[in-house]
């Protein structure tokens, strides 16, 4: 993440429709697909904590260790929140084998060149009955400057994420695309950005968060549309496509 961007990210994670709806969906799935068979409190690793909104949510369910690769972001978290992050890499976790009940990596492994090694490390630190929860951006054809400025290596399909997970000693138990209802308008907007002259593109960062800047009414409307998926996803219905993809499972 570019240094200037993560400071804006703090506000985005807590106010922007995409982040707030996504967080609500993730928490609902956590409750229904992960926590129902586990006794709280859990020992949880949140890898790629960014500016902390996901760790604040996870803190309700156990003892959360927040891992962040970006040192500047770690310093920012120390100043801005009560989170005491661990500075480290998902490909070389500074933790013992079988240490955590749950490992979360929400939109993280696309930032890592060797995503299989990242999955292997997740498997290593998971307890024998532990679970992982991974989300990633979907579909290579949606690649845009948003992915560039966020230092992504790839976007995934169901097949490619399952391959990385399987090769990383993890076992998928439930997976689906999500952000399905807004897929077409977001995809059209992204694809139209590619048709703009370079001089026009350079007037903005190209981040989705900038492109989809909105007033309060539009922000509320888009959040409500995205949240309509929560009931569908809670029922373990698999969506055929979406802007993002998620996988929940165990170690092999």
pLDDT digits (tens, 9 = 90+) for 94-114: 999 999 999 999 999 999 999
Give me 233's structure tokens: 């996803």
**How buried is 25 (Cβ within 10 angstroms: 0-12 exposed, 13-18 middle, 19+ buried)?**
buried
Which pTM does this prediction carry?
0.92
Q: In percent, how much of the chain has pLDDT > 70? A: 90
- For 125-173, the pLDDT digits (tens) are 999 999 999 999 999 999 988 788 888 999 999 999 999 999 999 999 9
- In the three-class reduction of DSSP (H, G, I as helix; E, B as strand; rest coil), residue 137 is classed as strand
Tokens at residue 149, please? 């400025």
Q: Six-digit token pair at 23?
A: 């967080």
pLDDT value of position 205 = 45
137 beta partners: 244
Give the pLDDT score at 103: 98
Across 11-15, 30-34, 202-206, least confident range: 202-206
Helix, strand, coil in percent for the chain, rounding step 5: 50, 20, 30
The reported pLDDT for the residue numbered 200 is 44
Domain ranges for the chain: 3-251
What homologous superfamily does CATH list for 3-251?
A: Vaccinia Virus protein VP39 (3.40.50.150)
> Which DSSP symbol is given to 30?
I
Does residue 198 have a pLDDT over 80? no
Q: Sign of the CA dihedral 111, 7, 221, 29?
A: positive
7 — pLDDT class (breaks 50, 70, 90): confident
What CA–CA distance (Å, rounded) separates 122 from 132?
A: 8
SS3 244: strand
């Amino acid at each position: 993440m570019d240094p200037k961007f993560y400071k804006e990210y703090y506000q985005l994670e807590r106010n922007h429709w995409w982040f707030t709806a996504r967080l609500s969906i993730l928490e609902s799935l956590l409750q229904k697909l992960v926590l129902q068979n586990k006794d709280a409190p859990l020992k949880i690793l949140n890898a790629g904590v960014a500016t902390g909104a996901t760790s604040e949510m996870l803190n309700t369910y156990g003892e959360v260790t927040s891992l962040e690769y970006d040192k500047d972001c770690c310093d920012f978290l120390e100043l801005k929140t009560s989170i005491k992050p661990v500075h480290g890499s998902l490909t070389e976790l500074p933790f013992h084998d079988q240490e955590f009940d749950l490992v979360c990596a929400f939109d993280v492994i696309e930032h890592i060149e060797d995503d299989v090694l990242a999955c292997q490390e997740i498997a290593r630190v998971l307890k024998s009955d532990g679970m992982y929860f991974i989300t990633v951006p979907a579909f290579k054809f949606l690649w845009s400057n948003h992915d560039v400025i966020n230092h992504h290596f790839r976007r995934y399909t169901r097949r490619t994420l399952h391959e990385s997970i399987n090769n990383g000693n993890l076992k998928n138990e439930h997976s689906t695309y999500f952000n399905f209802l807004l897929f077409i308008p977001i995809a059209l907007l992204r694809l139209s950005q590619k048709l703009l002259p370079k001089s026009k593109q350079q007037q903005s960062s190209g981040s989705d968060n900038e492109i989809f800047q909105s007033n309060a009414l539009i922000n509320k409307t888009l959040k409500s549309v995205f949240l309509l998926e929560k009931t569908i996803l809670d029922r373990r219905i698999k969506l055929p496509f979406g802007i993002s993809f998620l996988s929940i499972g165990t170690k092999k």
